C-alpha cells in the first residue's frame, strides 16, 4: 500500500485526491504555484511545497520542480489528476526512473493510447468499431482528398496528439480541404508540438458516450457503466450524466464489452475512459481513450457507489481489485454541471477576481466538488473550472429538478459563472426529453 502521495495538480481535483487519501490513511503532499499559495487544497494537505511562479510552464508543468518536490518530501507516489502532466508519458517514465510510483497506467499502454492513430489501430485489432477514416497519419493534400471522397464529406481532421477539443477541423468539400488541412496542422503544432493529423468521417449529430473502466495488475478488468457527455460547447463538455438516457441494457452491455476488450488489448492497468460516438441508429464508434481520471468521474461514483480515486490509489499500490463485474451495479441517475468562472453573456470570457460571497447549495442528492470559498481569489492563470455540482436521484426528471434548484441556490459573487447557461440548458425541452447531441448547445444557444 502507498503511504505518502504527492499531488501534481491544483484546484478541485487536488482537493478530491486529498479527500480519498485521508480516508485511506495515506499522507499527502500538495504542490502549488505562487498564485495558489492560499488555496484550500494546500491547507488540507499534510505538507505543501511551492514549485514556482504562476506560469504553469514554471510550476505545474515543470517536471524537474515536481520531481524535486517529490524527492524532498520523500513520497512513494505521484497522482497527476487530469490535465497538466496526467497524459505525459515522459513524466510517467521519469517518475518510474526515480523510483516513484506514477498513479496511472504503465508507460507502454499510455504511449500507445495517447497516439490517436495507434489507438484506432488497436481498437480495430480488438474488434471495436472505429469511425471510418484514415489508416494512419495523413500525408499530402492529394491523399487527404482521395480519402475524403472515398468516405464521403463531411469529414473531420484531427490531431494525432490532440486533446481538450483542440486541433479539430470539420470540412464539407474539396475546396476547403487544403486550407483546413494546413490550419489543423499548424494549430496542432502550436498546441501539442506535433503537427501530424488524421482524418475521420464526421458523424452528424452524434451523442458522446464514454465508458469508465478500471484494471488491476492481475488481469482483472471491470467497467463502471457509461456517461453521456453530449452537452458540449466547442467540443468541450459542459454537462455530463449517467446512465445515457438513450441506451437499453443490451446496448449498454455491448458498449461496455467493447471498452473492456480495448483496454485488455492495451494491457492496461488503472483507470481509463473509452470514448465513443453514438450515431442516430445507436451504432457506436470508438474515438479515443483518456488514460487518467476524468473531470466527470463523480457521476459514475454517484450511480455505482464506488470511489474511483481510491481504486486508482489501491491499484497503483499493487493491491488486487477485489471487485468483480457482478459486484458493480448502477442505481438512479446522476448529472454533473461544470461551473466555470466565465461570462455566458459575453461569449464565455473568463471572469477572475476575488469571491466576496460564496453560498453553496446542499440537501439530499447534492454533491459539490470545489476548491472555491468566500475570500478565495480566482486567478486568470489556469482553466476556469470553479466547481462541479453533481446530483443523484432515483429518476432523470427528479435529477433535473434537483440540479435546477441547486444551481439556483448557488451564489458566487461577484464572479460571472456558467450557472445561467446550465440553467438554460436544463430547462430546454429537448434536454428534458433526453434528445440531445454534441451540436445541441451550438444550435440552440
Which residues belong to the active site? 292
Are 358 and 412 a contacting pair, CB within 8 Å?
Answer: yes
CB of 166 to ligand ADP, least distance (A): 6
What residue has cell string 450524466? Answer: 241
Q: Decide: is 275 part of the binding site for ligand ADP (CB under 6 A).
A: yes
The answer to whether 438 contacts ligand ADP (rule: CB under 6 A) is yes
Question: Minimal distance in Å, beta carbon 24 to ligand ADP?
Answer: 30
Indicate the residue among 202 and 410 with the shorter CB distance to ligand ADP: 202
Range 74-133, binding ligand ADP (CB under 6 A): 131
What are φ and ψ of residue 332, in 5° steps? Answer: 70, -160
For residues 166 and 330, which CB has a smaller minimum distance to ligand ADP in the complex? 166
Shortest Å distance, C-beta 111 to ligand ADP: 16
**Cβ neighbours, 10 Å, residue 439:** 13
Among 120, 208, 297, 314, binds ligand ADP (CB under 6 A): 208
Q: Total residues at the site for ligand ADP (CB under 6 A)? A: 19
Q: How far is the CB of 131 from ligand ADP (least distance, A)?
A: 4
Q: Is 163 in the site for ligand ADP (CB under 6 A)?
A: yes
Nearer to ligand ADP, 21 or 113 (CB): 113
- Contact status: 209 vs ligand ADP (CB under 6 A): no
The Cα 332–Cα 207 span in angstroms is 20
**Using CB under 6 A, which of the segments 203-211, 247-255, 327-335, 361-369 binds ligand ADP?**
203-211
Q: How far is the CB of 230 from ligand ADP (least distance, A)?
A: 8
Give the binding range for ligand ADP (CB under 6 A) out of 2-10, 201-209, 341-349, 386-394: 201-209
228 sits near ligand ADP (criterion: CB under 6 A): no
Residues from 130 through 149 that contact ligand ADP (CB under 6 A): 131
CA-based max dimension of the chain? 60
Per CB under 6 A, which region of 198-206, 358-366, 375-383, 411-419 contacts ligand ADP? 198-206
- In this chain, which of 73, 195, 232, 273 binds ligand ADP, going by CB under 6 A? 232
Residue from the set 200, 226, 240, 296 that interacts with ligand ADP by CB under 6 A: 200
- As a whole number of angstroms, the distance between CA 298 and CA 17 comes to 12
Nearer to ligand ADP, 65 or 208 (CB): 208
- Choose which of 288, 296, 301, 342 interacts with ligand ADP (CB under 6 A): 288
Give the pairing of strands 385-393 and 333-340.
antiparallel
Q: Does position 164 bind ligand ADP by CB under 6 A?
A: yes
Instruction: Rule CB under 6 A: say whether 184 interacts with ligand ADP.
Output: no
Residue 62 or residue 438: which is nearer to ligand ADP going by CB? 438
Residue whose CB is nearest to ligand ADP in the complex, by number: 438
The CA distance from 2 to 17, in Å, is 14
Pick 158 or 392: Cβ nearer ligand ADP:
158
262 belongs to the binding site for ligand ADP (CB under 6 A)? no
Q: Does 210 bind ligand ADP (CB under 6 A)?
A: no
Q: How far is the CB of 417 from ligand ADP (least distance, A)?
A: 23
- Contact at 8 Å (CB) between 241 and 261? no
Instruction: Using CB under 6 A, list all residues that contact ligand ADP.
Output: 131, 156, 162-166, 200, 202-203, 206, 208, 232, 235, 275, 277, 287-288, 438
Amino acid at each position: 500500500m502507498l503511504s505518502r502521495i504527492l499531488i501534481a495538480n491544483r484546484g478541485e481535483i487536488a482537493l478530491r485526491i486529498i479527500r480519498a487519501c485521508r480516508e485511506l490513511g495515506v499522507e499527502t503532499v500538495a504542490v502549488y504555484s505562487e498564485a495558489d499559495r492560499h488555496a484550500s487544497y494546500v491547507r488540507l494537505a499534510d505538507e505543501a511545497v511551492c514549485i514556482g511562479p504562476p506560469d504553469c510552464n514554471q510550476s505545474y508543468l515543470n517536471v524537474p520542480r515536481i520531481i524535486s518536490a517529490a524527492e524532498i518530501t520523500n513520497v512513494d507516489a505521484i497522482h497527476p489528476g487530469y490535465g497538466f502532466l496526467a497524459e505525459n508519458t515522459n513524466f510517467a517514465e521519469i517518475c518510474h526512473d526515480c523510483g516513484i510510483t506514477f498513479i496511472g497506467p504503465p508507460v507502454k499502454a499510455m504511449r500507445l493510447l495517447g497516439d490517436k492513430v495507434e489507438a484506432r489501430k488497436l481498437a480495430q485489432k480488438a474488434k471495436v468499431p472505429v469511425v471510418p477514416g484514415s489508416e494512419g497519419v495523413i500525408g499530402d493534400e492529394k491523399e487527404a482528398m482521395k480519402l475524403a471522397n472515398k468516405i464521403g464529406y463531411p469529414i473531420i481532421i484531427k490531431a494525432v496528439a490532440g486533446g481538450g477539443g483542440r486541433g479539430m477541423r470539420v470540412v464539407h468539400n474539396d475546396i476547403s480541404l487544403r486550407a483546413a488541412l494546413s490550419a489543423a496542422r499548424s494549430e496542432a503544432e502550436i498546441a501539442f508540438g506535433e503537427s501530424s493529423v488524421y482524418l475521420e468521417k464526421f458523424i452528424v449529430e452524434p451523442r458522446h458516450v464514454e465508458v469508465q473502466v478500471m484494471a488491476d495488475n492481475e488481469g482483472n478488468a471491470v467497467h463502471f457503466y457509461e456517461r453521456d457527455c453530449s452537452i458540449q460547447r466547442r467540443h468541450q463538455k459542459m454537462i455530463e450524466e449517467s446512465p445515457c438516457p438513450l441506451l437499453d441494457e443490451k446496448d449498454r452491455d455491448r458498449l461496455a464489452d467493447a471498452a473492456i476488450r480495448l483496454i485488455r488489448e492495451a494491457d492496461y492497468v488503472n483507470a481509463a475512459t473509452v470514448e465513443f460516438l453514438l450515431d442516430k441508429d445507436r451504432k457506436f464508434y470508438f474515438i479515443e481513450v483518456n488514460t487518467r481520471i476524468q473531470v466527470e468521474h463523480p457521476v459514475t461514483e454517484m450511480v455505482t457507489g464506488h470511489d474511483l480515486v481510491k481504486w486508482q490509489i489501491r491499484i497503483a499500490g499493487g493491491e488486487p481489485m477485489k471487485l468483480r463485474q457482478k459486484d458493480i451495479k448502477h442505481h438512479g441517475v446522476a448529472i454533473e454541471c461544470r461551473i466555470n468562472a466565465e461570462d455566458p453573456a459575453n461569449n464565455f470570457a473568463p471572469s477572475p477576481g476575488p469571491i466576496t460571497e460564496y453560498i453553496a447549495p446542499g440537501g439530499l442528492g447534492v454533491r459539490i466538488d470545489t476548491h472555491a470559498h468566500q475570500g478565495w481569489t480566482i486567478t486568470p492563470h489556469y482553466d476556469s473550472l470553479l466547481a462541479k455540482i453533481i446530483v443523484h436521484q432515483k429518476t432523470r426528471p427528479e435529477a433535473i429538478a434537483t440540479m435546477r434548484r441547486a444551481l439556483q441556490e448557488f451564489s458566487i459573487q461577484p464572479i460571472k459563472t456558467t450557472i445561467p447557461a446550465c440553467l438554460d440548458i436544463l430547462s430546454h425541452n429537448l434536454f428534458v426529453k433526453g434528445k440531445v447531441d454534441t451540436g445541441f448547445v451550438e444550435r440552440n444557444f
